[in-house]
């Protein structure tokens, strides 16, 4: 068994492990129960996708995939920030509505 075969098995195993983890995180993102769980699951899904892209860059020896991973990281970060901002706005609105109903 050569070192290349060992690396192939390692990369394949890592990608399969991450695929299973991504499936479980996707279930958490859909199921919830809280919106914060969904936001964290979305962030984890983006991070695991970046890891898969980086492993593929090593496995296929294609350096441009690292640039794709960096761009995906920026987009994933922006998505989580936007989701959090939207959630905070909705939470603040619900809080104000409860306060108004309590006063009335």
Question: For residue range 91-103, what is the model confidence (pLDDT) as tens digits?
Answer: 888 888 888 887 7
CA dihedral 57, 61, 62, 68 (to 10 degrees): 10
pLDDT tens string 35-76: 889 999 999 999 999 999 999 999 999 999 999 999 999 999
Over residues 21-25, the mean pLDDT reads 96
Q: Which string of b and e fits 44-79 if b means at least 16 CB within 10 Å?
A: bbbbbbbbbbbbbbebeeeeebeeebeebbeebeee
Matching residue, tokens 């603040």:
92
pTM of the model: 0.83
């Amino acid at each position: 068994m050569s070192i290349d075969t060992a690396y192939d098995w390692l990369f394949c195993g890592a990608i399969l492990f991450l695929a299973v983890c991504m499936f479980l995180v996707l279930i958490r993102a859909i199921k919830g129960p809280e919106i914060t769980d969904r936001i964290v699951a979305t962030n984890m899904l983006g991070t695991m996708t970046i890891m898969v892209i980086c492993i593929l860059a090593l496995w296929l020896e294609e350096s441009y995939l690292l640039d794709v991973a960096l761009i995906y990281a920026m987009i994933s970060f922006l998505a989580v920030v936007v989701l959090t901002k939207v959630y905070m706005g909705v939470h603040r609105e619900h809080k104000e509505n409860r306060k108004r109903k309590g006063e009335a």
